[in-house]
Structures are given as structure tokens and as C-alpha cells.
Structure 1
Amino acid sequence: MTITDTASVVRSADGTSIALFREGAGPAIILIDPALSTHRGSARLARALAGQFTVLSFDRRGRGGSGDEHPATADQGREIEDIAALIEAAGGHAVLFGTSSGAALALEAATRLGDRVTGLIAYEPPFICDDARPPLANDLPARVAASVERGDRSQAVKTFFTEAIGVPAFGVAIMRMLPLWRHAKAIAHTLRYDFAVLEGTQQGMPLPLERWAGLTAPTIVLIGSKSEAFFHHTAAALADGLPTVEYESLEGAHHGSPEMSPGRIADRIIARFGA
């Protein structure tokens, strides 16, 4: 059985059903996916970690096999409650690994959930803390939400990829021909959660470090050496401003590595947090 075969269900505090997939044995690690992704995006990383960890992969609320009892809201606190329920299902303690907006969510969860989180690896949180890349437009979340509301999910996904991620027009044209475009459209309504967890961190201003002042878990902000400079600047700012945070650059890795080529990431996680 692989991690993508059969889900169990965990109930979050508001009654939302969260689809959970387990693999492996050892200390628990929870994988938190980025925007427009389900647990299937973490499958390779899960397999690479399963020899050392009990890997818990899940569909964030509103995605894949998970429900959402509050489909008209975008409260990051709900997603943190989801992670708390997963930690409870794991035995009360877990390491968190998050990618991109999932890394931002993991950082928020680790701050709020205290010693239930025994370690954190935040892979490339997409905060913009200086002029290394243009800030996101303040009205971007509203425009994406408006596209979803009027039923134009393709436009919502296009706007997100071009403005938030920086995919050029020819890249979007290629993506439209791939299955990932259909999958992205199916969960475009959940982008509101990604924007909510990133609120106040993508305007090119110094990071609101007080937001994570309660973080006690040993934390690595991991950045691929091939990734854009703004990711590295963010990691350095977090490491400089928060006492439990380390910044590491992983040679040869890039923003898509957790899904496409996670071997080195898994090795680093095992070395730092394995049994």
C-alpha cells in the first residue's frame, strides 16, 4: 500500500473531515502542501521519509478528500486546528514540514501549538521582505476570489500563477495543456487560505517577526541554492530575528524540489529530526 491508496478521516475542531494518509514507522512528521496541491504532491517525499518516520500526508481543507465546514471564510486558524487534529492522531507530537505557502502555515502552526510541534522544516516560505522581487498587488486576493465566484476558475489560476508565482505567459500556455491545470482549477477556491496565511508578508516590507515570537520548536528554513534571491533574504531575516530558527541553502535544489526531486530534502530532514 502506498500513501496515496486509502485515506482515514480526522475530524477538526469545527467538524471538518480531513483526509489523512499514513506511511512508515518512527517519529511522526506531517507534510503540509503548497497552494493548488493535494497530498499527491508530497508522495515522493513521503516515500523517501517513510523508512525513518511515520509520515502523515493530508489534503488541506477544501482540497481532494477533505471537506470544509466554512466554505465562505478564510481563517488560517481553521487550518491550524486541522494540523492540531492531525498531531493528536499522530500521538500528540509531530515534526512539521511545509512547502511555500504550506511552509508559512507550518510556521504559524508551530508558533501556536507549542511543544506539540517537536521540529519544523519550512521550505521556501514565499515572504517578500525587501526589493529582491516586486511585491504582490494588494488587490490580488480579491481579484482571484472574484474570478472563482463568477465561475472563471481558469482565470483565477492564471492570475495566481502569473502574479503570485511569476510564471511567464508561455509557461502558462504550456501548463494549460497539462493535467495539473485541471487539478488546479478544481481547488482554485482554496487559494483564499493561502492568501490568508501570507497576509502582511508579501509587500516588500520587513517581516512581522513578532508574529512568530512564540516559536519554540527547533526550526530550519530551507532554501534551494537555485531559487530566487528573495527566498534567501527571507530565510536570513527569519534566522536573524527568531532564536530557534536556522537558515540553510540546499545545493542544487529549487522551488519545485519537494515534489519533483525530494531526495536531498529527505536526507536533511532525516539527519536533523530522524530517530
Structure 2
Amino acid sequence: MGGDAGTVILIGGAFSYRKFPKMVELAQQLADEYRLTVINYDRRGRGDSSDSPGVYDVENEIDDIAALIEAVGGSAALFGWSSGAGLALLAAASGRVPGITRVVAFEPPFVVNSENFVPPADLHVKLHELIAADRRSEVVRFYMTSGMGMPRALVAMMRFTPFWKSLLATSPATAHDWAIMGSYMRGEALRAEDWNGVKVPTLVISGGKSGDLLRTAARAITEVLPDARHIEPAKLSHNPNIGLLTPPAGEFLTENA
């Protein structure tokens, strides 16, 4: 879908994929209301994208973003959601994707202290074992509880929801999400030197209805980025009302259009 106000690439998080309903809704609203050309793609191992089992390296996903930007003419903004926001920021920090013009980072799940939840540092060991054995239900449960800090009872209830099948389908790709975020989820403060390469204007969004971990993470990354601002709409959550998320993102992405 396309418009004349610039191009933005949407980058989903764990368990997300190109046809995830809220990603589709976000793409449509950014195109219709802000005249943006929106690229909504499947990250590795999701939807229509293939994967290389056992190979989980954030550099490969940065290369994917670079290829997308080249394909759309060499220039695009990035909108990342959750671990997708972490990927967008790492791509901008890498210095290997010069065509990035702006970044919107919606609730990147950095864990910067030990007050709430800290995943085990060796989470990848069991995660990779479960994925290799194709034990998808266990992957979903393990990643959501040990990687995301969700209550076990809530995850157990998800088995009876209509979207459980999509969780199973995308579960092997969680290894990519951990490759992106694992180093920044150890309960340690973010270091400015890791993010000095993000030279482009960045909008960090968190929701007033989200948990303390995500809200703290948003403030922490904003403080160490060279050119960033942070907003926190009161009624927004990590499972957002797209009608509340689109306006600040769309306005930021089209500021100089």
C-alpha cells in the first residue's frame, strides 16, 4: 500500500507476522491517514518467509532490512514493535543501513533493572533445544513465561483461544527475537556507547496501561539515544488500540513531508 509522504517498514515482534491483524490495521491507517507507503513484511521464519534452522544472528535480520530499503529505493523509516523495535534500533545503530531516515520504537522490551523480571541468561539453550525438537507448544509456553515474563496461568488459557494456532506457527522464530534482545534483558542499565550510532530522529512510544517493565525500558532507551523523544499515551497498552498508536507515529513519520 502506498502514498507520497515517504516509506515506512513495519517490523513485528515475537509471534508477530505480516498478516497479524493489528499489523495490517496499522499499515492501513498509516497509508490512508498519513499517505505513507507502508512495507509490512514477514521476518525470518514467519508467514511467507523461509528460515535457516539453527542460525539465529541479528546481523542477518539487519541485512534483511537493508535489502528491503534498497528494494524500495534506498530510503525508508522503520516502525518496530516490541522486539521488532529492538531490531529497528540495532539496525539504525549498526551503521550498515544508511537509508534509514527515522525510527519509531514501540515498547522495546529492554530489561534494565531487576525490580520486575529478568529472563535467564542461558534461555537460548533450552529454547533452541525445544525448537529443534519441534515441540511448539512448549516453545510458546517457555518463551512467554521465561522470555517475556507472562503469568503461567494466562499462557495456559491461551491454548483455548483462536490465535493459539498462529502462536504455534510462529514459535520457532522466537529464537530470532532472543538473538535480538537477549543481551539487553539482563537487568543491567543500557550503555550510551551501544546506541551512539542511532543518528536519526527517534520516537519511543510506551503505553500508560503497560507494565512497569516496558515503561521503564522506554524511558531508559530514550535517555541513551542521541536524538530521541518519548511519549506515553495514557490509554495505550502493549496490545494496543491501533487508533491510539497511529496518530503519534504517523505525525512523527511525516513531520518533514
Q: Which amino acid aligns with 2:238?
A: H
CA positional deviation for 1:208: 3.2
Asked if 1:101 is matched to 2:79, the reply is: no
TM-score (norm 2): 0.92
Asked if 1:31 is matched to 2:13, the reply is: no
Answer whether contact 2:54 2:128 (CA < 8 A) is retained: no
Q: Which amino acid aligns with 2:212?
A: A
Answer whether contact 2:203 2:252 (CA < 8 A) is retained: no
Answer whether contact 1:114 1:216 (CA < 8 A) is retained: no
Matches within 5 A, 1:115-264: 115-257=98-240, 261-264=241-244
Q: Is the partner of 2:19 in helix, strand or coil?
A: helix
TM-score (norm 1): 0.86
List runs of 5+ in structure 2 lacking aligned partners.
none
CA distance in 2, matches of 1:242, 1:228: 22
Q: Which amino acid aligns with 1:49?
A: L
CA distance in 2, matches of 1:191, 1:114: 24
Structure number with the higher strand fraction is 1
Which residue is 2:29 aligned to? 48
Q: Is the partner of 1:204 in helix, strand or coil?
A: coil
CA distance in 2, matches of 1:93, 1:167: 37
Query: Over residues 129-172 of structure 1, what are the superposed CA-to-partner deviations in whole Å (9 max), with x where a residue is unaligned?
Result: 01331211122221122112223111111111122223323322
List runs of 5+ in structure 1 lacking aligned partners.
1-22
CA distance in 2, matches of 1:84, 1:225: 33
Q: 2:47 aligns with which of 41, 58, 64?
A: 64
Query: Over residues 88-116 of structure 1, what are the superposed CA-to-partner deviations in whole Å (9 max), with x where a residue is unaligned?
Result: 12211111000110000010111224541
Answer whether contact 2:119 2:148 (CA < 8 A) is retained: no
Which residue is 2:251 aligned to? 271
Q: 2:72 aligns with which of 70, 90, 100?
A: 90
CA positional deviation for 1:197: 0.6
CA distance in 1, matches of 2:43, 2:85: 13
Percent of aligned pairs with the same amino acid: 35
CA positional deviation for 1:45: 0.3
CA distance in 2, matches of 1:225, 1:86: 33
CA positional deviation for 1:53: 0.3
Q: Which amino acid aligns with 2:253?
A: F
Asked if 1:111 is matched to 2:73, the reply is: no
Q: Is the partner of 2:198 in helix, strand or coil?
A: coil
Answer whether contact 1:102 1:125 (CA < 8 A) is retained: yes
CA positional deviation for 1:241: 2.0
CA distance in 2, matches of 1:231, 1:116: 28
Answer whether contact 1:31 1:57 (CA < 8 A) is retained: yes
Q: Aligned pair in 2 of structure 1 residues 79, 150: CA closer, same or farther (>3 Å)?
A: same
Instruction: Give the superposed CA RMSD.
Output: 1.5
Query: Over residues 212-244 of structure 1, what are the superposed CA-to-partner deviations in whole Å (9 max), with x where a residue is unaligned?
Result: 211111001110011111222222222222221
For structure 1, which segment, 130-139 or 214-223, has the greater mean C-alpha deviation from structure 2 after superposition?
A: 130-139
CA distance in 2, matches of 1:48, 1:83: 22
For structure 1, which segment, 126-135 or 73-82, has the greater mean C-alpha deviation from structure 2 after superposition?
A: 126-135
CA distance in 2, matches of 1:248, 1:229: 15
Asked if 1:75 is matched to 2:57, the reply is: yes
CA distance in 1, matches of 2:223, 2:191: 13
